[in-house]
Chain A
Amino acid sequence: MSFVTAVERPKNAAPWSKISAGLRIAMIAGSVIPLAIASLVFFATGWDFMVVLLLVFLPLQIVGGGFAGFVGYGRRGILDGLLVVVTLFLSFFVLVLLISVLWSVIQAGSQALSPHFFYQNNRYVAPTSDLSFGGVGHSILGTLMIVGLTTVITVPLGVLTAVYITETQGKSRGFIRTLLQAMSGLPSVVSGLFIYAALIASGYSQFAGYAGSLALVPLMLPTVARVAEESLRLVPKELRNGALALGAPSYKAFLMVTLPAARSGIITAMLLGIARVIGETAPLLLTTFNANETNLNIFAGGMSSLPTYLYQNVNLGYDYAVDRAWGAALVIMILVGVIFAAARLASNSTPSAKKGKK
C-alpha cells in the first residue's frame, strides 16, 4: 500500500480562461475608442443625445466588440463580442431606467418633505395652497390600518393554503396551485369592482377602510401562499417524519417542528405580500373613497391612503398638489424599502431560503 499524495493542479490547467495581452489591448481599445468618437460627435455637433447613442456609439461599439472577439478567437469570436456588447448595452439601459425612477422620486419627493408632512392631515389644504402646512399623516395611518387588516386576514389563509399543498395528500393540490398562479394575475381594478359590487352597490355598507382591506385580500393571497409553500417545501422531510414517528400528532408536528424551521420563510412571505399590496391604488379608489381628515375608524367613513392621496393630487394638477404627490411617492418608497430590507434580512437568516419573487 503506497500512499497517494494529492497532485497539485498545474497552473495551465484552464487555458481557456487566460486572456492574452493582445486581446486585453483589443478589449480596452474596443471600449474606449467608440466612447471617445461618440462623445466627440456629441459635443462637436450638438446632436440629440439619443441619436448619438443609437446611431454613432452603438454601431461603433458593436464593431469594437466584434473586433476584440476577432483578435482573441478569430472568426468564431466576432459574434461573441457582439453578444456581450448587446446584452451589456440593454442591461445598462434597464439600470438607467431604474436609477431614473429612484432618483426622480428621491429628488422631487424630498422637496415636499418636512417634519409636518409626516403627521399633519389635509383638513385645511386647498389644491393651490403651498407646502407650509398639510401632509400625509392621515394617509400613512390609513395605509397602515388597511394593509394591516389585509395582512391579518391573508397571512393565516395563505399559510394554511401552503400547508394544504405541502403537508396533505389532498386530491386537488395541483389545481389549487394553478388557480393561485392565475389569481396572481387578477387585475387590481377587478378586485376593487368585486368588493364594490358585493358590499357597497348592494347597500350593505358605505365606503369604508375595511372594504379596501377586503379588496386587497385576493391580490395578496397568491404571493403569500406561493412564498410560504416554497419555504415549507425546503424543510427536510426527515424532521417531519421524525416528529411523527415519535408519536406526535400531525398538527403538533407542524406547529412545533415544521413551522419553526420555516419561520423566516413565512415572515418573508408576509413581507413580500405587504410589498405587493401597499402601493395598490385602483381597488382602494373604488372602495375606500377619500378623506382629508384623519379617520381612525376602519369600519365607517371614507379613509385616505398613500396611493389614493398620490392619485388625487396628480389629478388636481396644480404645481403644489403635484409636489405633494411626489412627497407621497417618496413616503411609499420609504415604506417599501423598509419592508424590502426586512424581507432580505429574514430570508438571509436561513442560508437555504430561496427568494421566491416573481
Chain B
Amino acid sequence: MSTEQPVAKPRRLEAKPFLLADKIFFGLANAAAYSAIVIILLVLVFLLGRAWPAFAEQGVLAFVTGAGWDNSTDPILMRIGPMLYGTLLIAALAVAYAVPLAISIAYFIEFLAPKSLSKIATLLIDLLAAIPSVVVGLWGLMVFSPVAAGWAEMLNGGLSWIPIFAHEEGNYLNSPFIAALVLGTMIVPIIASVTREIFSQMDHEVIKASLALGGNAESTFRKVILPTSASGIVGGVLLGLGRAMGETVAIYFVLNLVFDRFNWAQILEPEGGNVASLILSKFGEANAQEVEGLMAAGVVLFVVTLIVNALASFIVAKAQPWRKAQ
C-alpha cells in the first residue's frame, strides 16, 4: 500500500505578451474596452456640467417631484414631476400589455409549433424588432390611434365604474393608454426573444420528468417551465422596460403632454407625460436657461434607465449561468 502522493494544484496558464506587436494588440483591446466606461463617464460629466445651473436654481428634489413648466416667469419655472411619473406609468402599462403577448409567442415557438412554423415565427419576431421606432410611431399616429381610441371608448362604456377608466372629455386620442399600446408593440419582440432563448436553454429532462409523473401540459407550464425561467424572463422584461422609458419619437407622436398637473391614473384622458418627449418638444424654441433644464431632465432620465438596466443585466446574468465569461 503506497501512501497518497500529494497532487499539485492545476496551474492557471497565463501568457504574458512579450512581443511589441502583441503588447500593442492587447493595449488596443484594453483601450477599446475601457472606452465604454469613458463614454458613460463623458455623458454624465457633460450633461451634469450643463445641467448644474438648472439643478442649483430649481433644487434637485423640487425639479424631480414638482409640477409645472413656464418660461415666462422670472426666475423661470421648471419641474418634471408629471413627466417622470408619466414615463413610469406608460412604461409599466406597456410592459403589462407586452408580457403576456411575448410569453405566448415564445411558448408557441418553443413548445407548440412544428419546426417549420417556429422558424417563420422567429423570423417575423426578429423583423418586428428591426422596425425603427419612428416608423412604429408613424403607424401608431396614423393607423393605430383611431382603432385604439375605439377600444378606449368601449372600455369606458363597459367599465367606467372602475376609476382608472373614467373619462370626461369627448376626445379619446393622445392618451397614456394609446401611448402604452404603441410602446408595448415595440417591446414585445425584445421580451419575446429573451424569453424564447431561456425556454430553448431549459433542461428538457425536467419537462419530460414532469410529464412522466402525470403532469399535463398546463401544469408543466405553470409549475415547471415558468418557475425555472422566471428570473430570466424578469431580466428580459426589465430590458424592455429600459427601452420603453427611453423611447422618444413614437411617444411624442401619440401623446398629449400636460406639464402642470399629475395625471395619476386616468389613463383614458388625453393627458400624459414623458421625459424624452418633453426634451424633444421644448428643444426647438428653448432659451439658454431652458436648455439647461432639458439637460437636467436628460440626467434624470439617464440615471433612472441606468438603474433599471443594471438591475436587468444583473438578473439575466444570474439566470443564465451558461453565459458566464469563461
Closest partner residue, chain A, to B25 (CB atom): A251
- Beta-carbon contact of A101 and B47 below 8 Å: no
Q: List 9 A-B contacts (CB under 8 A).
A: A97-B185, A101-B185, A172-B33, A193-B295, A221-B39, A282-B279, A332-B132, A333-B131, A340-B130
Knowing A80-B217, A194-B47 are in contact, say whether A101-B131 is a contact too (CB < 8 A): yes
- Determine whether A26 belongs to the interface, using a CB cutoff of 8 Å to chain B: no
- Determine whether A201 belongs to the interface, using a CB cutoff of 8 Å to chain B: yes
| Min CB–CB distance A48 → chain B (angstroms) | 7
- Beta-carbon contact of B43 and A194 below 8 Å: yes
The 10 closest A-B pairs by CB, nearest first: A279-B132, A187-B246, A185-B242, A160-B32, A181-B313, A251-B25, A90-B104, A185-B309, A164-B33, A79-B218
Q: Mark B216-235, 1 if CB is under 8 A from A, else 0.
A: 11110100000000000000
Interface SS of chain A:
helix
Q: Size range of the interface on B?
A: 35 or more
- Beta-carbon contact of B33 and A91 below 8 Å: no
- Determine whether B42 belongs to the interface, using a CB cutoff of 8 Å to chain A: yes
Scan residues 240-260 of chain A and give those whose CB is less than 8 A from a CB of chain B: 244, 249-251, 254
- Beta-carbon contact of B276 and A161 below 8 Å: no
- Determine whether A5 belongs to the interface, using a CB cutoff of 8 Å to chain B: no
Using a CB–CB cutoff of 8 Å, the interface residues on chain B facing chain A are 14-15, 17, 19, 21-22, 24-26, 28-37, 39-40, 42-43, 46-47, 49-50, 100-101, 104-105, 107-108, 112, 121, 123-136, 138-139, 141-144, 150-151, 154, 185, 188, 190, 192-194, 216-219, 221, 239, 242-243, 245-249, 253, 276, 279-280, 283, 291, 294-295, 298, 301-302, 305-306, 308-310, 312-314, 316-317, 325-326
How long is the Cα–Cα vector from A232 to B125 in the complex, in angstroms? 25
Interface size for A (C-beta < 8 A) is: 98
Question: Which of B29, B32, B33 has the most C-beta atoms of chain A within 10 angstroms of its own C-beta?
Answer: B33
- Beta-carbon contact of B132 and A178 below 8 Å: no
How long is the Cα–Cα vector from A311 to B22 in the complex, in angstroms? 48
How long is the Cα–Cα vector from A205 to B97 in the complex, in angstroms? 44
How long is the Cα–Cα vector from A208 to B264 in the complex, in angstroms? 41
Scan residues 292-325 of chain A and give those whose CB is less than 8 A from a CB of chain B: 307, 310-311, 314, 322, 325
